[in-house]
Structure 1
Amino acid sequence: MTNSSAAMPAVTSFRSSSPLANEVLARDLEACPDVDDDTNANDIDDAEGSETSDDTPGPTLYRRPSGIAFGTTRPALSLGPAGLNEQTVLSHAERARSREAERSLLRDNHILPPKHYLSKQPRGPISILYKRLFSTKVPRREADEEDPVTETTALLAEDRGRPGAPDNANTHQHEHLNSQWEAAVAAGQIKTTWQREAKTIAVYSRSLIVTFVLQYSLQVTSIFAVGRLGTLELGAVSLASMTATITCNAPVQGLATSLDTLCAQAYGSGHKKLVGLQMQRMVYFLLLLIAPISAIWLNSEAILLSVGIQAPSAALASTYLKIMLFGVPANMIFEAGKRFVQAQGLFHATTYVLLVAAPTNIFLSWFFVWYLEWGFKGAPLAVILTQNMLPTLLFLYVWKIEGSEAWGGFRRAAFRNWGPMIRLALPGMVMVVAEWLAFEILTLACGRLGVATLAAQSIIMTVAATTFQLPFPMSIAGSTRVANLIGAKLVDAAKTSAKVTVAGGVLIGAFNVTLLWVFRYQIPILFTNDAEVIALVAEVLPIVAVMQLFDGMAAVSHGLLRGIGRQEFGGYANLAIYYLVAVPISFGFAFGLGWELKGLWFGVTIGLCLVAIVEYVFIWLSDWNLIVKEAEARNTSG
């Protein structure tokens, strides 16, 4: 490794064009000379029957979301390749969607003819109102009243999909599309509307919301299942989940984020079978962590007692963790497997798997805890059975449906070339663990305040994490869309999309505020029937409700920073504010002023407010034209 690459910032080293990623690919190709090179463009006439070929270079207005870590208390975006910095690595279906997005924008700006010519009949008032509210078309200026459709664009409209069109018609279409696009961008003719951006971000968000909620439900179900067994059991589940997150889930997800770069690099270079090799290598590496995780979990009771947790809570939490050990290998394999399918653009594969696993987990939790009357031990048993289902179902999906072309079989090369992979993985682990740790410290502190307080914290943390599953997917969608528009050199459109994303974050935050405030007395009853715990939760929920507004805004600001390629600022701002402001204030109010649980959450609310303010000021003051030039320079050099 050269000195220059060794000295690279952690964020930069994650980009798919980084020297570390290229070094891994070169070494793997040398070790596996039998890997097929799939870069032949002739295989682009794929099964979808797409009209799209990627032989002709052009803009990219569709990119898949970047690597995502989710499933526990606080989902997190990895520091993998940022949207506008990454090399475009798309499947054939995604290329088709990108071309269609370009055509759609050209139609909305009246540069291409509309898909369907509208009737000239006068419209009624309802039709006019509907068009003004929901039409994605940019309003015509008086100077543009004449139809700007040219001979070329008419030819495009007529030739598209016409039976008997010549074999090179698609290539000519793309050449014309690219030239028209470039001319329109240079002339400043490409605009967008808030309706189009709202629609696009909603489409990007919906599947992510479903996925996040389904995977997080695996944890929530345990809390629901044991909540009515007693206050002690409810608090112990929260304590065990916190320990599992910090010592296993966060490190595993953080390390696996390196596959967001390595698998994308292999897939994008055309050596698809190397995607499977990268996944194998990560699985073997993660499995080595079972030994230290087991040592911590098997001795968790003594460790929790040493930090001031009361003996009954520590004992039950330790029991939960010891049972959960049997699900750790499957969890590791699934994390690597998610990256395997994501690199191929198969984000829906994880959703389909969870659509089966999540309801199964709910049934097993009820069956073990209540029907078979196994009590507290039944909850982790249900979780480990579900966790072992996840990689199995994902394997069946890849084997029987799609994704198997990136699997090259088991290879001995997976036991070599670990150095660059680990160097890519460690910064991701540090950032993910650091982000989660700030919130999990609250749970650890509550263990010193008593069993009832710990149980109340379990409910509040679950509620706050559940509501966070709404703004976080939208922030990913906004990040992806802004990055796409900046990559296409559409500054005004990117700003419009950013404003829509911010408005969406505020609306979702306001919805969460209203929900928690209005139902603050009913929500805790869903988890427990203990009067003291219900009163504690109802007392703290108004503070948590206010936090929801800042939480949603901060989630969106994180996404926008990622979209404009300034995510390193967000990472450092988060860590500084969480640990230098939020946590000290929380402890000062909770223990210094005696506010206890209210004080802990008041400090976090102040911290999130500061995070949102600092990041939005930075975004507002950023030179977006310079950002576009930087993105163009990276694409050119790449």
Structure 2
Amino acid sequence: MTAQPRPSDLESAAPTAHNSGETTPLLSTSPSATSLEISKHDTTSPWLAVAKGETKWMASSSSLVILTMMLQSSFFFVNVMSVSHLGAKQLAAMSLSVTCMGILALAPSIGLVSAMDTFCSTAFTASRDKRLVGFHFQRGIIAVTTHLFIVSPVLWFAKDILLLLRQDPEIASLAGMYLRIQILGIWPWSMFEAFKRYLQAQEIMRAGTVVVMIIAPIHWFNNFFFVRSKTYGIGFVGAPIVNVISNWLLFTGILIYARRSSAAETWGGWTRRAFRNMSQYYRFAIPAVITVCAEWVGFELLTIGASYFGANQLAGQAIMLNSVSLIFQFSNALGFGASPRIGNLIGAAKPRQARIAADVSIIASVMVGMTGTMFLVFFGDFWTSVYTSDPNVARETAKLMPVACTFLICDGLNAILGAILRGLGRQKISANIYIVGFYLCAVPIALYLGYGPYHMQAVGLWWGLCIGIMISSALQITYIYMWVDWKAEVRHALERLKNHEEPAPDAALVSDELDAGSLLSN
């Protein structure tokens, strides 16, 4: 595997006072010692020189993450294309199942593993014992697995719950069957997401891309074979089976990749210590869950709310939501690259370079949003025609274009700002801001504009969510640029490692390993 560019590779563009690599171990946490380490390692080059280096790093790393996320997104779109040919109720059942699974299982899993963006990236550059990266990885696995044990019974009895909520009996039955099968694939999907963050924290960015590029064609073929093939297809039940197969292949592929990469050196074997003091991990994971679920639920409310305004508005908002989601993946991928990058730089006692990396990621996100906006402005009618030829649906879609253009820039910026705060270990700040922006502002405003005296319907729902995202973005960017002390963040990161999670001595660590073996080493 070709290693991603290290900060030492960037020093030619941004020389520092001391040409130290980011893997130099740092664990002195006194203010004076921290200041000394910063003076040794941080860059003093002009902002533009450092920004150029960070831009090169972002281009080489985030491009791979973007490709990964786009390919992963194709899994769902292929599912929709396959099931849509089976009938309206089958498509409705799958959509309902995806909504339930997303809110109850997938979004919380993403939030739980997001804490690794803080712990693993900092440990990789700041810890003397690189096995601390694997230690935090184990805690992410524990958190996700525990959550899935809790939520699986709810998914198993989803049919009964949906009937209690007065859903159509046939749709509830199909959705319940879909979710029962899908339970088998949620854990490997969550492990794939955890492995991606574990590897990205070590600047191994291409693992997810390589694996998804191999599995995506298999998933596309299986969708035709199991769902639509007149000879071998098994209809609706084939859709969740294909997802389960793909999820296990993703997990198997990235496990093999990790074992053959340099990441194996950071894995110290299973240890009972990972089960202790999980409260420290949850302090960062639970706010991340709140953050992810807030936005996820917000998007789902758009679909649920628009369903009360007729088929044309529901179809129009589905087209626009699909379009916005595709463009959003670019900013979201930039965030997944920026978060471990900032954590690495903070752990390496390079706060100024970390701040400049944050600046670059914010600028890149705004540029992506503006590019997407220009695309919708000039090619919106053509893009709508790709989805539908119904003039009524096209008219409703056109009504959403102006708000979607504003939405694109703010939502992408929101994703980057949240990633920066994750890299700093400030998930609680994001969670509090999202509670204000989404639950206290976006939802009430959306309901008022959509159903209130103005009766703006689907357009009102979108403006409500857009206003909430604008508020969240404004609050996060204000916090980052007015209240974050980047030098102090270095000391806070080292304190988290030294005072709470520093591994035991080698002999004790070895004796504490479980006999169950290791994921990454033989």
- TM-score range for the pair, normalised by the shorter chain length: 0.7 to 0.9
- Indicate the residue corresponding to 2:31 in structure 1: none
Spell out, residue by residue over 1:568-601, the C-alpha distance to the aligned partner (whole angstroms, 9 max, x if none). Answer: 4443222201111111111122222433322211
Q: Is the 8 A contact 1:281 1:414 kept in 2?
A: no
- Indicate the residue corresponding to 1:548 in structure 2: 408
- Indicate the residue corresponding to 1:324 in structure 2: 182
What does residue range 182-261 of structure 1 map to in structure 2 within 5 Å?
A: 190-193=46-49, 195-260=52-117
Q: Is the 8 A contact 1:520 1:537 kept in 2?
A: no
Cα drift, residue 618 of structure 1: 4.3
- Indicate the residue corresponding to 2:457 in structure 1: 596
Could you state the TM-score of these two structures normalised by the residue count of structure 2?
Answer: 0.74
Query: 1:104 aligned to 2:27?
Result: no
Spell out, residue by residue over 1:36-92, the C-alpha distance to the aligned partner (whole angstroms, 9 max, x if none). Answer: xxxxxxxxxxx99xxxxxxxxxxxxxxxxxxxxxxxxxxxxxxxxxxxxxxxxxxxx
Cα drift, residue 279 of structure 1: 5.0
2:449 counterpart letter in structure 1: F
1:552 counterpart letter in structure 2: G
- Indicate the residue corresponding to 2:245 in structure 1: 385
Aligned residues with identical type, % of pairs:
29
Cα drift, residue 389 of structure 1: 0.7
Distance 1:410 1:564 in 2: 27
Query: 1:615 aligned to 2:476?
Result: yes
1:608 counterpart letter in structure 2: I
Spell out, residue by residue over 1:384-428, the C-alpha distance to the aligned partner (whole angstroms, 9 max, x if none). Answer: 2111111111222234455444455566x3895374466444444
SS in 1 for 2:11: helix
- Indicate the residue corresponding to 2:324 in structure 1: 464
Q: Is the 8 A contact 1:230 1:528 kept in 2?
A: no
Structure-2 change in CA distance of 1:421 and 1:368 (3 Å): farther
Give me the CA root mean square deviation. 4.2
Structure-2 change in CA distance of 1:272 and 1:189 (3 Å): closer
Structure-2 change in CA distance of 1:374 and 1:597 (3 Å): farther
- Indicate the residue corresponding to 2:515 in structure 1: none
Cα drift, residue 263 of structure 1: 5.3
Structure 2 unmatched runs, 5+: 20-35, 499-522
Query: 1:369 aligned to 2:227?
Result: yes
2:155 counterpart letter in structure 1: W
Structure 1 unmatched runs, 5+: 1-46, 49-92, 113-152, 154-178
- Indicate the residue corresponding to 2:255 in structure 1: 395
1:209 counterpart letter in structure 2: I
Cα drift, residue 280 of structure 1: 5.5
Spell out, residue by residue over 1:202-249, the C-alpha distance to the aligned partner (whole angstroms, 9 max, x if none). Answer: 334212212222222222321233345455444443322121111111
Aligned with residue 429 of structure 1, among 286, 289, 297: 289
- Indicate the residue corresponding to 2:26 in structure 1: none
Q: Is the 8 A contact 2:117 2:423 kept in 1?
A: no
2:211 counterpart letter in structure 1: V
Q: Is the 8 A contact 2:135 2:274 kept in 1?
A: no
SS in 1 for 2:13: helix
Cα drift, residue 324 of structure 1: 1.6
**More displaced stretch, 479-488 vs 468-477:** 479-488
Aligned with residue 575 of structure 1, among 422, 425, 435: 435
Cα drift, residue 182 of structure 1: 5.5
1:612 counterpart letter in structure 2: S
Q: Computing the radius of gyration over CA atoms, which structure comes out larger, 1 or 2?
A: 1
SS in 2 for 1:105: coil
Distance 1:286 1:566 in 2: 20
Specify which structure has the bigger relative contact order, considering alpha-carbon pairs within 8 angstroms and separated by 6 or more residues: 2
2:6 counterpart letter in structure 1: R
Cα drift, residue 544 of structure 1: 2.0
Distance 2:313 2:174 in 1: 16
Distance 1:320 1:530 in 2: 30
What does residue range 170-569 of structure 1 map to in structure 2 within 5 Å?
A: 190-193=46-49, 195-260=52-117, 269=127, 279=137, 283=141, 286-290=144-148, 292-307=150-165, 309=167, 313-372=171-230, 373-407=233-267, 413=272, 417=276, 419-420=278-279, 423-424=282-283, 425-449=285-309, 454-477=314-337, 500-524=360-384, 526-527=386-387, 533=393, 535-559=395-419, 568-569=428-429
Could you state the TM-score of these two structures normalised by the residue count of structure 1?
Answer: 0.62
Structure-2 change in CA distance of 1:275 and 1:301 (3 Å): same
Which one has the bigger helix percentage?
2
What does residue range 88-103 of structure 1 map to in structure 2 within 5 Å?
A: 97-103=6-12
Distance 1:419 1:568 in 2: 17
Structure-2 change in CA distance of 1:544 and 1:307 (3 Å): farther
**More displaced stretch, 439-448 vs 304-313:** 304-313
- Indicate the residue corresponding to 1:23 in structure 2: none
2:97 counterpart letter in structure 1: A
Aligned residue pair count: 472
Q: Is the 8 A contact 1:472 1:556 kept in 2?
A: yes
